[in-house]
Amino acid sequence: MSTFTPVTRDYLTPIGVMPVIVLDAVEHAVPVAEALYAGGIKAVEITLRTPAALDSIKAIKKACPHIIVGAGTIVNERNLEEVAEAQVDFAVSPGMTVALIKKAEALGVKLLPGVATCSEILLGMEHGLSCFKLFPATAAGGLPLLKSIYGPLPQVTFCPTGGLTIDDFDQYLALPNVACVGGSWLVPKAAVDAQNWQVITDIALRTTGKIAK
């Protein structure tokens, strides 16, 4: 029997800022996650863009029980099966289909699907969802779009991802319909390649320091 429960605002709000991470080597997974955690980051999204992704998720899940571990770039049902087997805490997709929603329900995986229009949001709402990833956030309309959506759909909550930076993410968090944000600025590829974990911690500290307490 499925243990599916949809992603809720209460689930997203404590996360605040969610690093979107691409890992090329499994051995980098735990050091990156711990470096982020040392800077106050509570959750990570490991994208399924490299062959190392699934094993990286498993490594973090095993070594870092204090960190919420999500899988990103979910684009088909097979991806959902793989991350369910890896026991992720949640899954994130760049878009949304009915097939993905139903598969997530069947597997008991918390799914945060990507949307960019009101029509997509309404479709998700028809399937019991109230929280979505706005993607690509800045290209789709950014802050003005989110403010416009709030008028007719105040009951919907977002995690904007795509194009946000350390300089403007807090403007998104200040909106009433945003619970958390996602971004790649927290984990620069150069820092990972150099295994300079302190750089990642420093960026995380600068980031979390901007979040209103």
131-158 mean pLDDT: 98
What pLDDT score does 1 carry? 40
Mean pLDDT of 47-76: 98
Return the pLDDT at 6: 84
Contacts of 116 (CB under 8 A, 6+ apart): 134, 135, 136, 140
Residues noted as catalytic = 45, 133
What's the rounded mean pLDDT across residues 144-163? 98
Strand-pairing partners, residue 69, are 44
* Structure-block tokens of residue 171: 């403007």
What is 9-205's CATH topology?
A: TIM Barrel (3.20.20)
In tens, the pLDDT along 30-42 reads: 999 999 999 999 9
- Whole-number pLDDT of residue 4: 61
Amino acid identity, position 119: S
Strand positions, DSSP E, the chain = 17-21, 43-47, 68-72, 90-92, 111-112, 114-115, 131-134, 157-160, 181-183
For residue 213, pLDDT beyond 60? no
Domain ranges within the chain, ordered by starting residue: 9-205
Residue 212 — very low, low, confident or very high, per pLDDT cuts 50/70/90? Answer: low
